[in-house]
């Protein structure tokens, strides 16, 4: 095992796949000469050259469309958005072209493409640069949506995404690029659609994904001091979603709290809450609780940011609510 940063794990995944398959290439804003806005693609231009590591204009719709066309014609593009907030401009190509082409072509045309970039809040960036898009894109049939929370999952999931024959969206985070973690020395794959039980427990299940899962770990540590045992599940894959792992845990703990960074309405937590009450109602000893971002555009003020985002206290309160403690 070796210790790497999140950005280095992503880079390793792209380097390994590009060395193995000449149809894989990277394009996006500042990915080449500048080594990537967050230095994810550092050194890749030197190794693979300007034909496979391509700087684009600030025109998300345009270069996303170029990449979708390339994928339809047998290449495997990796599209880097500086942030998923900017990818809204490319939503037409992602939702109306990439996601639908296999169905519209009667199964004749695959679109093996990866869209990736920073997602969610990253400090005082204001309302237009602080959004989480997992639920929005997971709503669309034909798209796969992944949110790795650590370097190990980041590398393994990105490699799986590049090899996949369908459009895959990788939601990263500006705040995670410097996070360090252990990964194997050799090659490995993390399968798409498989959640990971990060911590085993018996009293309550906490389901989360992305960087906000760190708040679940902090809450679980505090609750353990009070004798409350939390099982923490990292979804890793939002669509397809690993229902079996969630249900297996809920059947054991009989209680569920879902933690996510995004807004509450029509969210990932909403879908999970529905599924568990529909197919696991008899196993629940309490209503499903969720902890989300406040239902309002994200603020610039640090005080309002603290009020808006989930934190360990809110998770602890939700856990105690489903346990009927206090």
Give the structural domain span for 65: 2-183
Residues 205 and 111 in one domain: no
Strands (E), 127-285: 144-146, 168-172, 180-183, 196-199, 204-208, 230-234, 237-239, 256-259
Same domain flag for 31 and 110? yes
pTM, two decimals, is: 0.96
Q: How confident is the model at residue 80 (pLDDT cuts 50, 70, 90)?
A: very high
Rounded distance, CA 60 to CA 73, Å?
20
Q: Which of 130, 152, 183 is the last residue of a domain?
A: 183
216: pLDDT strictly greater than 80: yes
Per the annotation, the verdict on 60 as an active-site residue is yes
Residue 6 domain flag: yes
| Residues 267, 209 share a domain | yes
Virtual torsion, Cα 109, 114, 115, 118, nearest 10 deg = 170
Count of H-run helices and E-run strands, the chain: 12, 14
CA dist 97 to 31, 102, 110, Å?
A: 24, 9, 11
pLDDT, tens digit (0-9, with 9 covering 90-100), for 301-319: 999 999 999 999 999 999 9
Match 């406040």 to its residue by tokens.
294
Catalytic option among 129, 215, 231, 261: 129
Whichever domain contains 89, its CATH number is 3.40.50.970
For residue 160, give the 3-state DSSP assignment.
helix
From the candidates 60, 174, 231, 261, which is the catalytic residue? 60
Helix (H) or strand (E) holding 76: strand 76-83
| CATH code for the domain in which residue 263 is found | 3.40.50.920
* pLDDT (average), residues 182-211: 97
Same domain, residue pair 201 and 168: no
Q: Are residues 75 and 112 in the same domain?
A: yes
21, 150: one domain: yes
Please report whether residue 190 resides in a domain. no
Give the pLDDT of residue 326.
72
189 in any annotated domain: no
Confidence of residue 31 (pLDDT cuts 50, 70, 90): very high
- Residue 241 belongs to a domain: yes
Given pLDDT bands bounded at 50, 70 and 90, which one contains residue 123? confident
Same domain, 62 and 177: yes
CA distance 315 to 289: 9
Residue 188 placed within a domain = no
pLDDT computed for residue 14 by the predictor: 98
Strand order in the sheet with 289-291: 196-199, 230-234, 204-208, 256-259, 289-291
Residues 81 and 124 in one domain: yes
3-state secondary structure of 96: helix
Verify that 154 and 243 share a domain, yes or no: no
In the chain, % helix, strand, coil (3-state, to 5) comes to 40, 20, 40
Question: Among residues 138, 157, 183, which one ends one of the domains?
Answer: 183
Q: What is the mean pLDDT of the chain?
A: 97
**Using CA atoms, how far apart are residues 326 and 323, in angstroms rounded to an integer?**
9
139 is catalytic: no
Question: Considering 137, 154, 183, which residue would you say is the last residue of a domain?
Answer: 183
């Amino acid at each position: 095992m070796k210790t790497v940063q999140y950005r280095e794990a992503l880079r390793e995944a792209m380097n390994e796949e590009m060395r193995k398959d000449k149809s894989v290439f990277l394009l996006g804003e500042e990915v080449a000469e500048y080594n990537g806005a967050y230095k994810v693609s550092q050194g890749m231009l030197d190794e693979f050259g300007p034909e496979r590591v391509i700087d684009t204009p600030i025109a998300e719709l345009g270069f996303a469309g170029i990449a979708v066309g390339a994928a339809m014609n047998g290449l495997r593009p990796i599209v880097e958005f500086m942030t998923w907030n900017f990818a809204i401009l490319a939503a037409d190509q992602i939702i109306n072209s990439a996601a639908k082409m296999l169905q519209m072509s009667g199964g004749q045309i695959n679109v093996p493409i990866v869209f990736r970039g920073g997602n969610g809040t990253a400090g005082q960036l204001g309302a237009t640069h602080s959004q989480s898009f997992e639920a929005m894109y997971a709503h669309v049939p034909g798209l796969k949506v992944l949110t790795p929370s650590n370097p190990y999952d980041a590398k393994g999931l990105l490699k799986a995404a590049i090899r996949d024959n369908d459009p895959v969206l990788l939601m990263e985070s500006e705040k995670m690029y410097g996070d360090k973690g252990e990964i194997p020395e050799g090659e490995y794959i993390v399968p798409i659609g498989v959640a990971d039980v990060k911590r085993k427990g018996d009293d309550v299940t906490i389901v989360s994904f992305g960087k906000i899962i760190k708040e679940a770990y902090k809450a679980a540590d505090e609750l353990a001091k009070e004798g409350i045992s939390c099982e923490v599940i990292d979804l890793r894959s939002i669509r397809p979603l690993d229902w079996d792992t969630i249900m297996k845990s809920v059947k054991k703990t009989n209680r569920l709290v879902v933690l996510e960074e995004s807004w509450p309405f029509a969210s990932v937590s909403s879908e999970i809450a529905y599924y568990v009450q529909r197919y696991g109602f008899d196993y629940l000893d309490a209503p499903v609780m969720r902890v989300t971002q406040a239902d309002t555009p994200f603020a610039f003020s640090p005080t309002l940011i603290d009020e808006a985002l989930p934190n360990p206290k809110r998770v602890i309160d939700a856990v105690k609510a489903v346990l009927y403690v206090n």
